């Protein structure tokens, strides 16, 4: 269930039986000419919504803007500085911890968030270890799970797309969003192939460098292969992996 659609007495009742919460986290950044700017926030939301049907858990509001400085060469992209994202995560966790949540299961859709989210977790643990915590909990546990790393989803991507799945604006993530938002997907997907069909691979530094190296925004992918049907299968595969993992997380110390 979504926290935003609950009343506080329901949250209070939930906290008597569980202290776990899922926090989807993503980004608002270009995903090539045929992918939504919200792809990386939408994907963990789509997965989390179904995951909550499998396990008894509340879904927090999505942290939908992340660390995406390298995408600012494309209109519509928004970034938080790493230090801002660390603060957003810290305040979100501290707020929820005050109510009694202590198991924070972040479902992430953006590779560029990983280093910053891990730094945010260490800031939280450092507050506990140094005795300066703003919350009232001593045993907070935060984990980060990237939906795109789920082995069952990766198997489907390998079968359906092979190397054309790519690294950014992947055929898999675009499929997942076309599944959840078919009308908007039909609008942006266009017809015909992109040029080159499979985008280049490579490294990048700042946003100007990124745009020079990857002129249409993709890295290594051919997202014209994306279909809603594959997206539906990817969602179910990721949910199955994450449901088992979430249960293990709650059972651990
Ligand atoms: Ni993405």
Q: What is the pLDDT of residues 3-42, one digit of tens each?
A: 999 999 999 999 999 999 999 999 999 999 999 999 999 9
What is the average pLDDT across 161-174? 98
Q: In angstroms, what is the span from residue 136 Cα to ligand 1's centroid? A: 35
Strand order in the sheet with 58-59: 58-59, 20-25, 103-108, 141-146
Q: In angstroms, what is the span from residue 98 Cα to ligand 1's centroid? A: 32
Per-residue pLDDT at 140: 95
Per-residue pLDDT at 93: 97
Q: How confident is the model at residue 138 (pLDDT cuts 50, 70, 90)?
A: confident
CB 198 within 8 A of CB 220: yes
Burial call 100-124: b when 16+ CB within 10 Å, e when fewer:
ebbbbbbbbbbbbbeebbeebbeeb
What is the average pLDDT across 163-175? 98
Per-residue pLDDT at 134: 75
Q: Tell whether omega for the bond before 196 is within 30 degrees of 0, i.e. cis.
A: yes
What is the average pLDDT across 90-96? 96
Q: How confident is the model at residue 137 (pLDDT cuts 50, 70, 90)?
A: confident
Q: In angstroms, what is the span from residue 168 Cα to ligand 1's centroid? A: 6
Q: In angstroms, what is the span from residue 127 Cα to ligand 1's centroid? A: 31
Asked if residue 54 has pLDDT above 80, the reply is: yes
Give CA–CA dist 151/236, Å, rounded. 12
CB 234 within 8 A of CB 153: yes
pLDDT tens for 179-216 read 999 999 999 998 899 999 999 999 999 999 999 999 99
Report the predicted TM-score, pTM, of the whole model to 2 decimal places: 0.97
Q: How confident is the model at residue 50 (pLDDT cuts 50, 70, 90)?
A: very high
Per-residue pLDDT at 36: 98
Q: In angstroms, what is the span from residue 247 Cα to ligand 1's centroid? A: 26
Q: In angstroms, what is the span from residue 48 Cα to ligand 1's centroid? A: 16
Query: Using the 8-state DSSP alphabet, how is residue 33 labeled?
Result: T
The beta strands (E) that lie in the chain are given as 20-25, 58-59, 103-108, 141-146
Per-residue pLDDT at 70: 98
Asked if residue 53 has pLDDT above 90, the reply is: yes
Q: In angstroms, what is the span from residue 52 Cα to ligand 1's centroid? A: 22
Asked if residue 226 has pLDDT above 80, the reply is: yes
Give CA–CA dist 61/94, Å, rounded. 15
Q: In angstroms, what is the span from residue 102 Cα to ligand 1's centroid? A: 28
Give CA–CA dist 102/245, Å, rounded. 17
Burial of 50 (0-12, 13-18, 19+ CB in 10 A): middle
Q: In angstroms, what is the span from residue 253 Cα to ligand 1's centroid? A: 32
Burial of 192 (0-12, 13-18, 19+ CB in 10 A): exposed
Q: In angstroms, what is the span from residue 16 Cα to ligand 1's centroid? A: 36
Burial of 127 (0-12, 13-18, 19+ CB in 10 A): middle
What is the average pLDDT across 145-162? 98
How is 114-158 classified by DSSP, letter by letter?
Answer: HHHHHHHHHHHHHHHHHT--SSS-S--EEEEEEGGG-HHHHHHHH
Asked if residue 133 has pLDDT above 90, the reply is: no
CB atoms within 10 A of CB 171: 26
Q: Which distant-in-sequence residues (6+ apart) come within 8 Å of 135 by Cβ? A: 93, 94, 97, 98
Give CA–CA dist 238/129, Å, rounded. 34
- Show the domains of the chain with their CATH numbers: 3-251 (3.40.50.10310)
Q: How confident is the model at residue 146 (pLDDT cuts 50, 70, 90)?
A: very high
What is the average pLDDT across 116-133? 94
């Amino acid at each position: 269930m979504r926290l935003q659609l609950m009343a506080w007495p329901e949250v209070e009742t939930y906290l008597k039986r569980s202290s776990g919460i899922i926090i989807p986290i993503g980004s608002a950044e270009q995903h090539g000419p045929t992918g939504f700017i919200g792809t990386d926030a939408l994907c963990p939301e789509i997965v989390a919504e179904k995951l909550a049907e499998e396990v008894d858990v509340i879904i927090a509001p999505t942290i939908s803007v992340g660390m995406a400085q390298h995408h600012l060469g494309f209109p519509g992209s928004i970034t938080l500085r790493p230090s801002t994202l660390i603060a957003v995560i810290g305040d979100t966790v501290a707020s929820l911890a005050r109510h009694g949540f202590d198991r924070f299961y972040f479902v992430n859709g953006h590779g560029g968030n990983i280093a910053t989210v891990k730094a945010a977790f260490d800031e939280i643990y450092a507050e506990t270890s140094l005795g300066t915590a703003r919350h009232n909990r001593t045993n907070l546990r935060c984990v980060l799970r990237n939906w795109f790393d789920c082995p069952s989803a990766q198997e489907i991507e390998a079968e359906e797309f092979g190397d054309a799945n790519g690294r950014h604006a992947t055929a898999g993530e675009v499929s997942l969003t076309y599944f959840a938002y078919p009308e908007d997907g039909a609008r942006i997907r266009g017809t015909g192939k992109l040029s080159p069909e499979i985008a280049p691979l490579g490294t990048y530094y700042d946003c100007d460098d990124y745009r020079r190296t990857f002129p249409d925004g993709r890295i290594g992918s051919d997202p014209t292969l994306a279909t809603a049907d594959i997206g539906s299968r990817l969602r179910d595969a990721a949910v199955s992996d994450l449901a088992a993992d979430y249960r293990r997380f709650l059972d651990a110390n």
